[in-house]
Amino acid sequence: MTFKECLTNKLKISLEAPEWSSAMKQAMVCYNDLENLECLDGFKCEVTQSGIAGSSMMSKRECAVICTTKGIFFLCPAIGNLPYACLIKPRDIRVVSSEKSLLKATVNIKTNDYVMKITVPRKEGSPLEKTIDKVYQISLR
């Protein structure tokens, strides 16, 4: 499945909505080959980004996390004029950990520079972990 198919069909995101439209524009500028990107799976979630020392870089935001053959892509709609697009390449992933509570599951992806905390409904926790593991295994080949 392609990047746009994953967003529109699987995650049911309207790319015509102004907040997602500006996020897609930023993603296309930063990562110009999105049209040909093969997607493994996608998840709608909340993401928090913090520095290694615990300093907050981005508070909890709605996000589309798309696991691709090139890495894990984070696409957040614009809040004000600030959309967010980030690609974590498989070779940059250092530690993946997870926590589960009664209603939510959290997956933490740690790189050398920051930690991405992904929060999804509990039932999506295991599929998200498995998909991130697939992305990581690609880097070991």
Cα–Cα distance between 76 and 78 in angstroms, integer?
7
Put simply, whether the predicted model's pTM sits higher than 0.85 gets the answer yes
The residues near 67 (Cβ < 8 Å, ≥ 6 apart) are 39, 40, 41, 42, 73, 131, 132, 134, 135
Structure tokens at 74: 């984070």
What pLDDT was estimated at residue 54? 76
Tokens 């999506």 belong to residue: 124
Tell me the average pLDDT across 1-19. Answer: 91
Read off the amino acid at residue 16: E
What is the set of domains in the chain, with CATH numbers? 3-140 (2.30.29.30)
Give the confidence band of 14 by pLDDT, cuts at 50, 70, 90.
Answer: very high
DSSP 94: -
Q: Is the pLDDT of residue 66 over 90?
A: yes
If one counts every other C-beta atom within 10 angstroms of the C-beta of residue 41, the result is 18
